[in-house]
Amino acid sequence: MLGNGIRAHADVLPGTLDLLILKAVSLGPLHGYGVLLRIGQISKGALAIEQGVLYPALFRLVRQGLLKASWGASENNRRAKFYQLTAAGRRRLHKETEGWNRLVAAIGTVLGTQPEEI
């Protein structure tokens, strides 16, 4: 599922990794590797990140109070650290998503502009 997507595609835009993590976790508690899988899954392998980058980002989000971490058992019964969205995280995700959509819309409009429209 993650397939070759990891190396093959464009880098994640700077600053958007946090947003992707929040979104992935918002769909249900995940451990680190799970976050990576889910991002790969929902982007259909279109977004690639170097895997190690994920962890500093997760630690940062926990420190900012957007994620909550707790230890539990993984699918194959290994001890794993699960991340979960906090209320603040949910608000942030909402806000950032709106911001992102506005930005994309704006840039889309700009890029879609035809010469005769000016």
Partner 1 sequence: MRILSTVRTFLAFVFRRPRVEREMEDELRLHLQRRADDLEQQGLSRAEAERQAQVEFGGYQRYKEECHEALGTRLFGELIVDVRYGLRQLRRSPGFTAVAVITLALGIGTNTAIFSVVNTVLLTPVHAPEPNRVVAFITTSRRGSSSSFKFPNASEIKFNLWREQTSVFQDVSGYRLDSLILTGDDQPQQARAIFVTADYFRLFGLPIAQGRTFTAEEEHPNGGSVVILSDAFWKRAFGADSQIVGKIISLSGSSYEVIGVMAGGVQTETLEPPDIWMPFPIDPNSNNQVHYFQAVGRLKPRVTIDMANAQLQRTTQEFRRKFPHALSTSRRETFIVQPMQDVLGKDVRSSLLILTGAVSFVLLIACANVANLLLVKGAGRRREIAIRIAVGASRGRIILQLLTESVLLSTAGGVFGLGLGVAGIHTLLALNPSHIPRIGPRGSNVTMDWRVLSLTLLVALITGLLFGLIPALHASRTDLNSGLKEGGAGTGSGFRQNKTRSLLVISEISLALLLLIGAGLLMRTLIALRSVNPGFDPRNVVTTRTPLDPPLAKVSGVDQIVHNVFRRLSVLPGVESAGFTRLLPLAGDFNSVPIIVVGRPLNGPSHGSARRMVVSASYFEVLKIPLIRGRLFVDADRLGAPGVAIINEAMARQFWPKGDPLDSQIFIGKGLPWLDEPARQIIGVVGDVHDNALGENPQPAVFVPAAQLSDARTAGIPVTWVIRTRAPSPSLNSAIQNELRQATGVPVPPLRSMEEVMAQSTARQDFNMLLMSIFGGSALLLAAIGVYGLMAYSVKQRTHEIGIRMALGAQKRDVFRMVIGQGLRLVLAGLAIGVAAALILTRLLSSFSHLLYGVRASDPATFVAVSLVLSGVAVLACYIPARRATKVDPMVALRYE
Residues in contact with partner 1 by CB under 8 A are: 2, 6-7, 31-33, 36, 50-53, 55-57, 59-60, 63, 71, 74, 78-81
In the complex, least distance from residue 28 CB atom to partner 1, rounded to whole angstroms: 17
Considering the complex, state which of residue 68 and residue 81 has its C-beta at the smaller distance from partner 1. Answer: 81
Helix (H) or strand (E) segment spanning residue 79: strand 79-85
- Give the residue ranges of DSSP H helices in the chain: 5-8, 17-26, 32-42, 54-63, 87-112
User: By C-beta, is 76 or 114 nearer to partner 1?
Assistant: 76
Q: Which is nearer to partner 1, 30 or 85 (CB)?
A: 30
Strand 79-85 vs strand 30-31: parallel, antiparallel, or unpaired?
Answer: antiparallel
